Structure 1
Amino acid sequence: MDERLYNKNIVCPVCNMKVEITKVKTKACKVASRDTDFCVYYEGINPIFYDIAV
C-alpha cells in the first residue's frame, strides 16, 4: 500500500457490519491549483476519491 494511505475500520450505520476503508493522510493532500469556481486540483493523490464510505 502507498505510504500516503492508511486503512480504517468503521461500523456501517445501516447494517452494523465492520468495514475496512482506505483513507488519505492529511500530509499527503497538497493543493496544486484552484479554479474560479473553487474546484480544487491536487498534486499526486486526490483525497476526494477516498472520501466516500459506502
Structure 2
Amino acid sequence: MSCPICGEDTLKKFRPFCSKRCADIDLAKWLNGSYAVPSQREEDMEADVEANVPGVPKPH
C-alpha cells in the first residue's frame, strides 16, 4: 500500500500514511476544507431542487 499524500510505502504505525508528517498534512486538508463530503441530508436536496425550479422567485 502506498501513502495517499506522497506515494511512499506505508508504515504500520502510521497506516495508511508513511509518516506523521503525511498524516498531519491530510488532517490539515480536512480542517481547512480542501476535502469535503457531499451532504445526503434531505433538507439539502429539497433546497437544491427548489433553487432550480423555473418561474419561482428567488430571495435576494
Q: Could you tell me the TM-score, scaled by structure 1's length?
A: 0.21
Tell me which of the two structures has the higher relative contact order, counting C-alpha pairs closer than 8 angstroms and 6 or more residues apart: 1
Q: Could you tell me the TM-score, scaled by structure 2's length?
A: 0.20
| Bigger fraction of residues in helix | 2
